[in-house]
Structure 1
Amino acid sequence: MKNYLFNYSLFFAVSISALGACKAQTNLDRTWSVYKADENSANYSPLNQITTANVERLQHAWTLTLDDKPEGAKPSSSQCNPIILDGIMYASSANQWAYAVDASTGKQLWSFDPLDGKQGVEVNRGLTYWENGNDKRILMTANNFLIALDANTGKPISSFGNNGRVDLKIGLRDEGKDFWVSSTSPGIIYKNLIIMGCRVPDIYGAQPGYIRAYDTRSGELVWTFHTVPQPGEPGYETWPPDAYKVVGGVNNWAGMSIDSKRGMVFLGLGSPSYDFYGKDRKGSNLYGNCVVALNAATGSLVWHFQTVHHDLWDYDLPAPPTLVTINKDGKMIDAVAQTTKQGFVFVFNRETGESLFPIEERKVPASHLPGEEAWPTQPIPLKPKPFARQWMTEDDLTNFSPADHDALVKQFRSMRYEGLYTPPDLKGTLQLPGTRGGGEWGGAAYDPATNMFYIKSNDAPDLITLVTGSKEAVNRPVDAASQLETAERHAGPDQFANSTGYITWTDPSGNPAITPPWGTLNALNLATGEYTWQIPLGNDSLRQQDGAPETGLEGRAGPIVTAGGVIFISGTEDRILRALDKTSGKLLWQTTLPGFANATPCTYQANGKQYVAISVGGTPENPSGFIMAFALSQP
């Protein structure tokens, strides 16, 4: 780790800032009341009962065993980040049920099945809480519905929408037609509005992912922001004239952040569909892959920055922008930090959208596909440096056996590869980072006392293999069979699809194709743009070479950081929940969970005691999964 001269004026300024932030958080029983901790999406807790000195005393406090899947069902993979208010935890299951739980004991208070006994097939990352006096509500999504529940009873509120539900299909482009839409990450509250993104399929003929705000009391649609601009709207000129009628995607599936004082909502948008071929969407394609700031009351555009022009790699912005206040060159700046799948961190002035570090438009490779016009340049931040690998050679190929290595070398030499932003090609293309590489939906954790930004990263290459024809023109079909049929109807013989997307490249025996580390945790000082440490996170003991460092593992969940100086993170396939020292990344405590915890943890106070909790996926014995909490034992 690097040594730094102690700057007393910097220490004083940062300490005063952190003190002010802590004072603003007056109710310690509500420090994790929003998805990812607070409206900043910072994954930070001001609680300091659990510290680097005592975290080794963490022990199991309680487990809620969920029971919303039938015996023998496929084990679920939960991604829920629970929220906690006044001693009550609210969480969702992988089966899309909502739960209220006594946060001290794990006793279930109520549950709600939004699907009337049917099995859920969609990811759900959590719930949203809203209150006005004694009116306390949980807002949740299930399939294409936004649902309002009484937070005390778990019963639907009949005055909201149609008997407690709002159909998210209403108000989209092709309302009244057969299409699929859902919402995987919870909406965010601004006054009496819940602002929603959505998930749409990554297929030809998908809907555009409009951003919408609904009245939390009535369910009435208040405003809509068209992510694929319509005639007369800014950005319309970056598409073909009729693109808004046919192009889909450009959706916010990862969640949002709110600056309540400024009345601004911040979000990251995904790529236009189809993800890997854009003949029908020539142009830079605003607001695809954009960090967007909107007026939270009206939905009007304040500023935007496009991180990928005319995306051909499915480089969706995978996590909410994190709202931070950093001391840069002796000046406190309210900013927005956005992680990306490519491994970049973009940092913008919150009010103006001006980058705090230099960004350069660099020439990138041209496309060889018929009809495709790849954008000639892409924005490259000069600082911070990438937190994920963006280049590889034959020397980076693994060698688990001579035959496996030879197969990788042959495949590597057969593909088109010119580094980051190599366009999809008929001969096959290597993509690094791949569609599941770099930063993922768990996002980063930000410590306001130190300007440190902690990022989980994956070094995971993909292969892009293009095929043609209607039945192949779906890259990642949704679970509903009707959506596959819809995609087939929209696809044509002159369209291309990637048949190997969302799969990490491996050798013939199933070993990772690239040398470790395969997953890292990175500590970035946002004030300087420099990293202070990087460690492998997770370990594949079967593939670890004798005497070599831990391998690191892929993982989509994110870290959290506390005022007690501790980072908590899980999400790796070794099923371990870890506690690390935030200053060095040193492992302080770990426990093996009963299932795969593909979720970001949370920490909260209940009855004066600090807990750490996490959603855990299902097992063959209990496919529904668990919620587990840990607390300090007596010294």
Structure 2
Amino acid sequence: MRRQPARLVAASALLLALAGNLHAQQGATKGEWRYYGADQGNTKYSPLDQINARNVRELEIVWRWKADNFGPTPDYNWEVTPLMIGGVLYFTAGSRRDVVAVDAATGETLWMYRLDEGERGDRAPRKQNRGLAYWTDGKGDARLLLVTPGYQLVALDAKTGRPIPAFGKDGIVELTNGLDRDVVTPGQIGSSSPAVVVRDVVVVGAAMIAGTAPPSKTHVPGYVRGFDVRTGQQIWTFKTIPQPGEFGHETWEGDSWKYTGNTAAWAPLAADEELGYVYVPVETPTGDFYGGHRLGDNLFGDSLVCLDAKTGRRVWHFQIVHHDIWDWEPSSPPMLADITVGGKKIKAVAQVTKQAFTFVFDRVTGMPVWPIEERPVPQTDVPGERTSPTQPFPTRPAPFDRQGVTTDDLLDFTPELKAEAIRILGHYKTSTTPYLPPILAGADGKLSSLWLPHHTGGANWPGGALDPETGIMYVSSVTNADAVALQKGDPKRTDMAYVATFGAHPGAPSGAVQTAAPPVAGESAGRPNFGPQGLPLIRPPWGRITAIDLNTGDHLWMIGNGDAPDVVKNNPAIKGLNLDLSKAGKPERSPLMVTKTLLFGADGSGLFSAGPGSGGKMFRAIDKKSGAIVHEMALPASTTGIPMTYMVDDRQYIVVAIGARGVPAELIALAVP
């Protein structure tokens, strides 16, 4: 592994002494679910076992909570995961991100809090609605922490829903202050994931406008900040774009550090309460597919950064992508686990990525658990651009999805369909690596670069789940090709030299082309199939769940995420063929939760990865050891949020958000009779 000071910095030897006294991340405790990811380490694990393989077939809907009237228009893609503390569910709902408290046993609404932010809320760049953070001093002071769409931090009394007067100004902290650059207009910065609280410090990330065709190379930086949970006072700022004299500043050439923005942490964060560390996945700098205005490695873009939660001091970091022009930012929540590798106990953090890698580090020191190699990658020929000569490749675990495209990856239901897929492939520039740069549209007679996975992932915000008792990680991913090129920026719309285009798709046998609308980053790719006869270009499975043992780095099993989508099964091109599509997988990420006895997943929303028809209504219980389906049941709509589970009055519940195009979002509570 090539180690450069600006790319990997481990903790000092003093930190090594701390490793021996740490406790495992144990998932949700006491039958509750106090964190977005069950615990601060995002394991999405609960040790509850009242619902098990023997009775899971008896699951039924016991109550429903509808979100129709929360906000001026209904929400259809509700990515929320509720918290459950003391018999009460807490969550956000609607386009204004109202906070709601609900009786966990009955679904009865207890109270709600609504903050109308006006234009700043209406124009928020990311309206995703994932939930809240919770804090208590254990002596009666219990608070919910909300980051609003318009980027304000609100502290509410968990009992009443009323703002805490002593927190900030009347319960609210203005988050647009202190970013070095003014937020001139609404819609430049917001948040889509909850904050995390560690050692009485609220750590807040941010979410920015999409980087496909940004209006300018100049943007607000998404600094990470810590606030006192009692007063709201800002304690520290970690500048994800280093200033002169700060570590990593030399990785920004010229004066690009002055104007480049983004580098936010929009995915959920992770924390280790005993260490007092927070683990921050930082996104791509402005813009996602052209970096000629920001030459250099661009720390701390595309990095996993470990910070001291009390001070904001960087403890260690690892840059997962150097000078990203693929939008390969770490978009999944880091997961903490205590594992044993070669007889050595390690306090680990695992980061799964869009390009289907799993980077595993000692979470105390930042040292890789298995070697990470800097390997040569293809170079760009776009004017003004300069790519890094190498990129990091983990040697273990193996990628959990396909990377790069060859003829072996193409749809092969019939020889004729395979031949057409090969013809279509000839319109694109391809590589066996995920680091093929985007070409100029039409260069050398090619429409664009063809990527696998898609620039939205592989893995994305749902990430995975982790069983802390075994060290086995379960990750969901999508196998969906992406055609990306660059075109000159229109001076009337942007000062970027080049912006992304998703170009023409030669999907018809006649050679006619279709123009696909560019996807919105973090939203549905909305892309039609551009393979033979309107089928996917890539062979199945199109959605998958993979089990990986983090003690060994071995893959244990992989299954398709359900059957093929209806848009494939009903395609006339395969009518009459004897195809088994029962395990072809929905091209959508399965939201996962793991318990003592079972892994739970679902088809997914159909609103994120491959456009209309990619999701489904099925909710599944899966055998953790084998991947066998134990039970599946159809819900009223598609699963849009991460499932969670809890115990109230000696009864275990599973609650999940659902919705679909034209079907307003709601919470569904499941239990056995």
Instruction: Give the C-alpha shift of residue 408 in structure 1.
Output: 5.0
Identify which of structures 1 and 2 has the higher relative contact order when contacts are C-alpha pairs closer than 8 Å and 6+ apart.
1
Instruction: Give the C-alpha shift of residue 99 in structure 1.
Output: 1.0
Equivalent of 2:452 in 415, 432, 454: 432
Equivalent of 1:137 in 131, 140, 143: 143
Q: Quick check: 2:339–2:347 contact (8 Å CA) kept in 1? A: yes
- Mean CA deviation greater in 531-540 or 149-158: 149-158
Check 1:563–1:21 CA distance in 2 against 1; reply closer, same or farther (3 A cut): farther
Equivalent of 2:347 in 294, 311, 334: 334
Partner of 2:529: 506
Equivalent position SS for 2:190: coil
Equivalent of 2:31 in 23, 29, 32: 29
Equivalent of 2:479 in 459, 471, 476: 459
Amino acid at match of 2:237: T
Equivalent of 1:443 in 455, 460, 463: 463
Check 1:629–1:311 CA distance in 2 against 1; reply closer, same or farther (3 A cut): same
Partner of 1:564: 597
Q: Quick check: 1:75–1:619 contact (8 Å CA) kept in 2? A: no
Equivalent of 2:555 in 527, 531, 534: 531
Amino-acid identity (%): 36
* Mapped pair 1:548 → 2:555: no
Equivalent of 1:161 in 168, 174, 177: 168
Check 1:373–1:168 CA distance in 2 against 1; reply closer, same or farther (3 A cut): same
Find the aligned partners of 1:396 and 1:260 in 2 and give their Cα distance.
44
* Mapped pair 1:81 → 2:62: no
Instruction: Give the C-alpha shift of residue 469 in structure 1.
Output: 2.5
Q: Quick check: 1:126–1:185 contact (8 Å CA) kept in 2? A: yes
Find the aligned partners of 2:630 and 2:372 in 1 and give their Cα distance.
37
Find the aligned partners of 1:435 and 1:176 in 2 and give their Cα distance.
28
Instruction: Give the C-alpha shift of residue 136 in structure 1.
Output: 1.6
Equivalent of 1:149 in 131, 134, 156: 156
Name the TM-score, length of structure 2 as normaliser. 0.83
Find the aligned partners of 1:188 and 1:546 in 2 and give their Cα distance.
51
Partner of 1:6: none
Name the TM-score, length of structure 1 as normaliser. 0.88
* CA RMSD across the alignment: 2.5
Instruction: Give the C-alpha shift of residue 174 in structure 1.
Output: 1.4
Partner of 1:259: 272
5+ long unaligned stretches in structure 1:
1-16, 473-487
Find the aligned partners of 1:541 and 1:375 in 2 and give their Cα distance.
38
Amino acid at match of 1:142: T
Equivalent position SS for 1:302: strand
Question: CA deviation digits over 1:453-502, x for unaligned, max 9?
Answer: 10001111111121222369xxxxxxxxxxxxxxx3x524x333334456
Find the aligned partners of 2:378 and 2:411 in 1 and give their Cα distance.
27
* Mapped pair 1:193 → 2:198: no
* Mapped pair 1:576 → 2:618: yes
Amino acid at match of 2:585: G
Find the aligned partners of 1:397 and 1:566 in 2 and give their Cα distance.
31
Instruction: Give the C-alpha shift of residue 392 in structure 1.
Output: 2.2
Partner of 1:386: 399
Check 1:281–1:619 CA distance in 2 against 1; reply closer, same or farther (3 A cut): closer
Check 1:303–1:230 CA distance in 2 against 1; reply closer, same or farther (3 A cut): same
Partner of 1:297: 310
* Mapped pair 1:497 → 2:500: yes
Check 1:530–1:402 CA distance in 2 against 1; reply closer, same or farther (3 A cut): closer
Question: CA deviation digits over 1:396-455, x for unaligned, max 9?
Answer: 333789998777544421222123201111131111111122111111111122221100
Partner of 1:613: 655
Partner of 1:628: 668
Amino acid at match of 2:219: A
Find the aligned partners of 2:535 and 2:44 in 1 and give their Cα distance.
33
Q: Quick check: 1:341–1:435 contact (8 Å CA) kept in 2? A: yes
Find the aligned partners of 1:381 and 1:399 in 2 and give their Cα distance.
30
Partner of 1:104: 105
Partner of 2:131: 126
Q: Work out the number of aligned pairs and report it.
A: 593
Find the aligned partners of 1:75 and 1:511 in 2 and give their Cα distance.
30
Check 1:74–1:98 CA distance in 2 against 1; reply closer, same or farther (3 A cut): closer
Partner of 2:15: none
Find the aligned partners of 1:556 and 1:128 in 2 and give their Cα distance.
24
Q: Quick check: 1:540–1:552 contact (8 Å CA) kept in 2? A: yes
Question: CA deviation digits over 1:248-300, x for unaligned, max 9?
Answer: 12111111111111111112111111111111111111111111111110001
Partner of 2:509: none
* Mapped pair 1:518 → 2:525: no
Instruction: Give the C-alpha shift of residue 247 in structure 1.
Output: 0.8
Find the aligned partners of 1:116 and 1:251 in 2 and give their Cα distance.
22
Find the aligned partners of 1:402 and 1:630 in 2 and give their Cα distance.
46
Equivalent of 1:416 in 419, 423, 429: 429
Amino acid at match of 1:435: H
Check 1:583–1:171 CA distance in 2 against 1; reply closer, same or farther (3 A cut): same
Q: Quick check: 1:539–1:574 contact (8 Å CA) kept in 2? A: no
Check 1:570–1:131 CA distance in 2 against 1; reply closer, same or farther (3 A cut): farther
Find the aligned partners of 1:323 and 1:26 in 2 and give their Cα distance.
13
Find the aligned partners of 2:65 and 2:638 in 1 and give their Cα distance.
16
Partner of 1:114: 115
Amino acid at match of 1:50: I
Check 1:514–1:271 CA distance in 2 against 1; reply closer, same or farther (3 A cut): same
Check 1:53–1:495 CA distance in 2 against 1; reply closer, same or farther (3 A cut): same
